Amino acid sequence: MPIMAVGFSHLRRSSQKRENVTRRSKERLPTVSIVVPVKNEERVIGRLLEALYQLDYPLQKREIIIVEDGSTDKTMQKCKEYVGRFSSRIELLHKPVSNGKPSALNYAIKHVKGEIVALFDADNVPEPDALIKAAEYFEDPSVTALQGTTCSLNADENMLTKFVSYEEAVRFEVYVRGKDALSLFVPLTGSCCFIRRSILEEVGGWDEDALSEDVEMSVRLTERGYYIKYAPDLRSWQENPASLTQLMRQRMRWLRGCMEIALKYGKLVTKLERRNIDAELTLAGPYMFAACFLGYLMTVYTFLVPIQPDPVSIIMAQVMSLLTIVLLLIVGVALIYVTKPRRMTNLLWLPFIYAYWSLQTFMALYALVQIVLKRPKRWVKTVKTGTVANCAWNERA
């Protein structure tokens, strides 16, 4: 709640003023290696490569490295077409054995030459000034890594994508913004993120055993005392899952990944530094979700089997209900501000947000059971269709 409140305060102030950005001369800009891992992305890869080539950044200061990770569709053929068009700026690497995204990223790192490594998923469309803005943030030597904002390309495809677009907007614009303002743990999301190559080599690349390799990298950087910055004005557009099945598969992989990372880096709490403690508390979130699901089951049980609650239980239930209402109110106000123009009707999404929180408790418990039973890990890829359905994107285009 404090993080959300601070994030909303900063969001409100940022909407009332325009940020002044000083642009460096082309000679002083850092070199950037853009890494794109792809597998079965024939519907979206062309759109991304066109956007990357159109970036407002000197050609001699950037390179694009595509890691084709054992596709079975026409992804490889499409990549070769773009390599033929922009051969001096695109390098295509073929990885015949697919071992997941972290493995593909590590395969690419051996070939990068830039001072900054930029990561974009195949369904992304970065805004033209993305690299210029990233370079501005990296002028601060304390910034080790940078996370930009991802916006929905298909928010208007159906009710689910609209809901997810609002959820993501609140998460970035309020929650992550609040963490950044308080100098807390800012997690990388695996796309529209940037890391100094020297630091990436120092930490040994990505953990290929992690289901949430982006969060694991974030925690490893934090453990070593490195600073991850959030860049609210650096934007890239991407697809949201358009079906409940795809959404649940994606989120359960994220939840299990975070749970496993929380166990792996539990020693962070022994270092009394607020960024370390916040990282471990953030990772412990899925465990709290799982506990909340048990709370729902207990509530249902009390309806079926009447019991006499003790005074302590009643007070705890009332306090938790009050805190939930306050948090929903903060989210509701944030929903009004994350859209332009502001819309009071966004408050109507609050019941769906609460329902989604409840669904997350089930997904978290399921992920926890998988860990306890030591079920095999599977890096499940989220299917992308190439759909563009967003009024804000159309107006921008």
Q: According to the model, what pLDDT value does residue 397 have?
A: 56
Q: According to the model, what pLDDT value does residue 23 have?
A: 55
Rounded Cα distance, 18 and 5, in Å: 21
Closest CA to 117 of 51, 54, 38, 193: 193
CB-based contact 196:138 (threshold 8 Å): yes
Which DSSP symbol is given to 146? E
CATH number for the 2-240 domain, one of 3.90.550.10, 1.10.10.10, 3.20.20.70, 2.40.100.10? 3.90.550.10
Question: Strand, coil or helix: what is 314?
Answer: helix
Closest CA to 37 of 156, 121, 96: 121
CB-based contact 66:38 (threshold 8 Å): yes
Rg for the chain (alpha carbons), in Å? Answer: 22
Name the pTM for this structure: 0.88
Q: According to the model, what pLDDT value does residue 321 have?
A: 84
Rounded Cα distance, 362 and 394, in Å: 36
Give the DSSP per-residue string, 69-134. Answer: ---SSSHHHHHHHHHHHSTTTEEEEE-SS---HHHHHHHHHTT--SSEEEE--TT-EE-TTHHHHH
Query: Per-block average pLDDT, block size 10, for the chain (397 residues)?
Result: 87 62 67 93 91 90 90 89 80 84 91 94 93 95 95 91 91 92 93 95 92 93 93 94 91 92 86 88 91 83 78 83 87 83 84 89 93 86 82 63
